[in-house]
Amino acid sequence: MSEVNSVLQNLDKDRSNLIKALQLVQETAGYVSDDTLMQISEYFSVAPVEVEGIVSFYAQFKRVKPGKNVVSICDGTACHIKGASLISNWISDEIGIKDGETDQDGLFSLQTVACLGCCSLAPVISVNGEVFGNLDRKKLLRVLRQYKKMG
C-alpha cells in the first residue's frame, strides 16, 4: 500500500475532506507531488484540475519537494528592522536560491515567515526548527556552512 493510500484510508471519500487529505499528505511527504495529486483526485473521484486548483489557491501547499534543510527567515517587525532583507540577500548569495526555492542538490529550501517568535534575538533564522539569532553575516555563513558539511 502506498504512503498516500495509508493516509487517505482513514478519510471518508467526501469531497469536503480534500483539503484535509492534502494537508495530511504534505505533512508526510513535505509537498504535493504530481502522483499524489492524481491519487487524491482518484480517491475523491474529482478531476485533477480541481485538486490542483485547491493546491494552487492555498499558500500552505507546496508543489516542489523541500530541501533536506528548510531555512526560514523571520521577517517580523523586530527582524525586519534589524536586517531581515540583508539576511535574505546573504543566504541567496551563499546558497544560490531565493525565497520559495530549493537548491539543485536538494540540500536547502528557503522561505520567509511572518514571525518566529524570537524578537529579542533579531535578526533570526531557523533551520529545520533550530533557531539562530543575533545574526550578522559571519554568524549566518557559519550556520549555513555547518549544514552544508552535514550534507
Q: What ranges do the domains of the chain cover?
A: 3-57, 69-150
What is the model's pLDDT at position 151? 79
CATH of 69-150 among 3.40.30.10, 3.30.70.20, 3.40.50.970, 3.30.470.10: 3.40.30.10
**d(Cα 72, Cα 130) in Å, to the nearest integer?**
10
**What average pLDDT does this structure show over 71-94?**
97
What is the model's pLDDT at position 6? 83
Q: How confident is the model at residue 133 (pLDDT cuts 50, 70, 90)?
A: very high
What is the model's pLDDT at position 4? 81
* 23 sits in which H/E element: helix 18-29
* Triad 96, 118, 90: Cα angle to 5°: 20
| Cα distances (angstroms) measured from residue 82 to each of 13, 102, 120, 122, 134 | 48, 25, 11, 6, 9
Is 62 a residue whose pLDDT tops 80? yes
**d(Cα 43, Cα 58) in Å, to the nearest integer?**
20
Q: How confident is the model at residue 10 (pLDDT cuts 50, 70, 90)?
A: confident
**d(Cα 75, Cα 96) in Å, to the nearest integer?**
20
Residue 102: name the closest of 71, 127, 74 by CA. Answer: 71
- Residue whose C-alpha cell is 555563513: 141
Instruction: Give the chain's mean pLDDT.
Output: 93
Is 1 a residue whose pLDDT tops 80? no
